[in-house]
Chains A and B, each alone.
Chain A
Amino acid sequence: MTQTYTLLELLDGCKAGNRKMQEMLYKQTASKMLAVCMRYAKDRMEAEDSLQLGYIKIFQKIMEYRGEGSFEGWMRRIMVNTAIESYRRNIRAMNVVPIDDAYEQPATGFDFNRLGMQDLMKLIQNLADGYRLVFNMYAIEGYSHKEISELLGISEGASKSQLSRARAILKQEIIKMEGINYATYTG
C-alpha cells in the first residue's frame, strides 16, 4: 500500500517542483479527471489525450492556484477548458441532427434506476460534439447559458436550443436501451 497524501501536501510538493509529488497527485486524482474527460470526448482514446494535456497544464499553472475554491474543482475546470479548447481548435462543425429526429417525443416511459454510470457515459459520448459540450457544461458542470455562449463562441439562443436537443436525444436513446433490456429479459 502506497502512502497517501492530502491534496494540500501534494499541492505544496508540486509547487516546489517535486517530481515524486507530481506523480502522487496524478495517481490520486487521475481516475476522477479521466471521468471528466470521458464525458467531453467521443471515446476513451480522445479522453486520454485530453487528460494528458490537462495534467501538463495543471503542473504548468500550479503556481497560479491561490486556494480560491477547492483544488479538485480547479483541476476539473482545467480539464473542462482543455476539452473546450480542443473542440474549438478542431472546429468540427456541430453535427446538427435533423430537427424531426431530435424532437421526436419518446413513446414509452423509462426506468432510470436500471442505468448505470457507464450507460450514461456512453449515451453522452454518442451525442454530436456540440450537444455533448453544451449538455455537460450546463447539466453537470453548472455553467449558465451566458458562460457557455462565451466559452464556445456561440449565441445564448444556440446554447439553449442545443441543450434541449441534447436532452431529447438522450431520452430517446434511454428508451431504446430500455427496449433492448426488456427484450433480453423476456426473450
Chain B
Amino acid sequence: MQHIPDNEFDRLFKDRLMDAEVQPSEALWEHIAPQIVPKKKKRYAGLYWSAAATVLIAVSAGLLFKPQERIALHAPTVSTAVKPSSEQPVQVESQLDAVEETMNGSVTAATVKAGNDQALAKSQSEMTGARLMATENNSSAMQPNDEESHHHSVAAVQEPALALIQTQPAASNDAIVADQNDVAAEDPIASVALDEPAERTQESRPRIRNAGDLVNFVVDKIDKREQKFLEFRTDEDESSSLVAINIGPIKINQRKNNK
C-alpha cells in the first residue's frame, strides 16, 4: 500500500472525517447565547434612557415638593384654624372638597364611637390630647395589616373635628367656614390616617409592568394631588408614554387636551 495514489489517500481521510461528530462541552452554548446580538437593540436603549430621565425628574421634583408637604403637616394650630388666612382662598376651597369627602365616609363611624364617650369632645385641652393620640395611632396605622389601630385612629381624629362643630352650634356662615377650615387644616393628619391603609390595598392590585407604571407608582407616593407632576399612560403591550407634567410653571396634560 506504499504506492497508494494521492487521490485515493485523500479519499480515505475524507470518508472517515467528512461526517465525523465530536460532542462539544456542555457549557459551550451558555457562552454562545449571550453573544448573539438581539434584534431590537434600539428599543431597549430608548427605554433605558426614558427610565433614567423620569427617575431623575421624579427625584428632583420630589425634593422640590418636600418643603410644602412639611408645612401642611404642622399646620393644625388653633389660631390659624379659627382665623383662616384669606390670602389663599383657592387652595382652601380645593382642600375643603377633599375633606368633605373623607368626612362623609368616616363621620358615621366616628359618631358611633363618639356617642359612647361624648365627654371626650368637650374641651380644647382634650382636643389636643386626642390629636396627640391621633398622631400616635397614625404611626401604628402605617402597618396595613393592623386594621384595629386603623379604626382607632379614624375615630380619634374625627372626634375633635366633631367637637368643634358641636361646641359652636349657633355660629354664623363665616364661623362654619372657620370650623371647616379647622378641619381642613387637620386634613393632612386625617387624610393620611384614612388614606394610607386603603391605598396600600388598592395599589397592590395594579401590576407594575413597565417603567411607566413604576414611575406612576413612585410619583403617586410623593405627590398626592390629582394632577401629578409627572404621569405616564401605560398600556398592556409594555409600552408607556408621558401624558402629563405639572411642575409649577410647566404644565402639560395630553389627557386634558383630548377631552
Contacts and interface: CB of A to CB of B under 8 A. Distances in A.
Q: Are the chains A and B members of one assembly?
A: yes
Interface of A: 17, 19, 22-23, 26-27, 30-32, 34-35, 38-39, 47-48, 51-52, 55-56, 59-60, 105-106, 108-112, 115-117, 120-121, 124, 135, 138-140, 164, 167, 170-171
Top 4 A-B pairs ranked by shortest CB distance?
Answer: A139-B10, A31-B21, A35-B20, A109-B1
B36 A112 contact: no
Interface of B: 1-2, 6, 9-10, 12-14, 16-25, 28-29, 31-33, 35-39
B36 A120 contact: no
Given A22-B36, A56-B32, A34 B23 contact: yes
A113 to B, nearest CB: 9
B36 A60 contact: yes
Contacts, number: 87
Contacts of B14: 139-140
Most buried by B among A32, A35, A38: A35
B1 A26 contact: no
A82 to B, nearest CB: 13
Given A109-B1, A120-B17, A140-B17, A19 B23 contact: no
Contacts of A51: 24, 28
Most buried by A among B24, B33, B36, B37: B24
B166 to A, nearest CB: 70
B184 to A, nearest CB: 58
Given A120-B16, A121-B20, 7 more contacts: A17-B39, A51-B28, A52-B28, A109-B1, A117-B16, A139-B13, A167-B6
Contacts of A138: 10
A92 B251 CA distance: 67
Nearest to B21: A31
A117 B17 CA distance: 6
Contacts of B22: 31, 34-35, 38, 47, 121
A121 B24 CA distance: 15
Nearest to A105: B2
B19 A32 contact: yes
Q: Which of B1, B10, B32 has the most CB of A within 10 A?
A: B32
Given A48-B28, A121-B20, A60 B1 contact: no
B13 A124 contact: yes
Contacts of A167: 6, 9-10
B41 to A, nearest CB: 11
Given A17-B39, A52-B31, A167-B6, A112 B12 contact: yes
B36 A26 contact: no
B13 A109 contact: no
Contacts of A121: 17, 20, 22
Contact of A140 (B18, B21, B33, B38): B18
A51 B21 CA distance: 13
A115 B10 CA distance: 14
A26 B10 CA distance: 29
Given A22-B36, A48-B24, A112-B12, A39 B29 contact: no
A32 B32 contact: no
Contacts of B29: 23, 26-27, 30
A106 B2 contact: yes
Nearest to B36: A59
Contacts of A124: 13, 17
Given A23-B33, A117-B17, A30 B10 contact: no
Contacts of B36: 22, 56, 59-60
A12 to B, nearest CB: 15
B239 to A, nearest CB: 19
A56 B35 contact: yes
